[in-house]
């Protein structure tokens, strides 16, 4: 059984969407990250920084979005959301899946808070470099890692969705808009979004 530690409208969105894409049973445990003082101290036993998401799969804890996404997609190979080990397609898949947290997210967060690349002492590049990299990739193929939808799309797609719709920091490039239209048409995207909206409204 999978237990999913989650907060609606947060960085756990991509994993929530991935769970819906996988179509496997999971149980959601809501974590109140917005409470004064953050999530309860007891949650540190699951996620050492008290952040969402986290997963417990048959007693095994896994944290960090990229790691969770790789773990889940590899654990359910029949869903086709990960190229198999040994397949060269895994190179682009892993690259984008990790880029999402190591470059895209910090660059977007810095932009939303009014700063940009602060020099080579930081591991992520500039906002402009990131946007152009993403634009080149999404202008050349339907999905971020190639011709097939995968767990790299739930990672980067959930980030683009948040950056465009909520933070309004990503430019309205045609490649971003058509990519998001493709992703938002997916029944699993619509299911996770509806569940998050209901949870956020306490219904």
Ligand X SMILES: N[C@@H](CCC(=O)N[C@@H](CS)C(=O)NCC(=O)O)C(=O)O
Shortest spacing between CB 140 and ligand X, in angstroms: 27
Cβ atoms of 159 and 108 closer than 8 Å: yes
Q: Which of 18, 19, 22, 33 binds ligand X (CB under 6 A)?
A: 33
Measured from the CB of residue 100, what is the shortest distance to ligand X in angstroms? 9
Question: Residue 11: which of 100, 125, 119, 131 has the closest Cα?
Answer: 100
**Given candidates 6, 11, 90, 111, which one binds ligand X under the rule CB under 6 A?**
11
d(CA 126, CA 162): 19
Q: What string of H, E and C letters represents the secondary structure of 28-80?
A: EEECCCCCCCCCCHHHHHCCCCCCCCEEEECCEEEECHHHHHHHHHHHCHHHC
Q: Parallel, antiparallel, or unpaired for β 26-30 and 2-6?
A: parallel
Footprint of ligand X on 36-95 (CB under 6 A): 38, 50-53, 64-65
Site string for ligand X, 181-200 (x = CB under 6 A): --------------------
Can you tell me whether residue 56 is helix, strand or coil?
Answer: strand
Residue 88: CB minimum distance to ligand X, A: 26
Q: Between 83 and 159, whose beta carbon lies closer to ligand X?
A: 159
Q: How far is the CB of 13 from ligand X (least distance, A)?
A: 9
- Interacting residue ranges for ligand X, rule: CB under 6 A: 10-11, 33, 38, 50-53, 64-65, 101
């Amino acid at each position: 059984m999978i237990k999913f530690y989650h907060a609606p409208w947060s960085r756990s969105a991509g994993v929530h969407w991935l769970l819906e894409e996988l179509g496997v049973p999971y149980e959601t445990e809501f974590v109140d990250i917005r409470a004064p003082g953050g999530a309860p101290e007891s949650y540190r036993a699951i996620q050492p920084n008290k952040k969402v998401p986290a997963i417990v799969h048959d007693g095994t804890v896994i944290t960090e979005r990229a790691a969770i996404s790789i773990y889940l997609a590899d654990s359910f190979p029949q869903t086709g959301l990960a190229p198999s080990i040994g397949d060269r397609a895994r190179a682009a898949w892993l690259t984008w899946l990790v880029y999402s947290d190591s470059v895209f997210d910090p660059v977007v967060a810095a932009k939303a808070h009014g700063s940009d690349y602060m020099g080579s002492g930081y591991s992520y590049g500039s906002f402009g470099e990131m946007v152009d990299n993403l634009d080149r990739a999404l202008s050349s193929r339907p999905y971020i890692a190639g011709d097939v939808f995968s767990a790299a799309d739930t990672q980067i797609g959930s980030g683009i969705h948040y950056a465009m719709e909520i933070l309004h920091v990503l430019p309205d490039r045609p490649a971003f808009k058509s990519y998001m239209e493709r992703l938002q048409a997916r029944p699993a995207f619509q299911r996770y979004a509806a569940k998050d909206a209901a949870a956020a409204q306490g219904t």
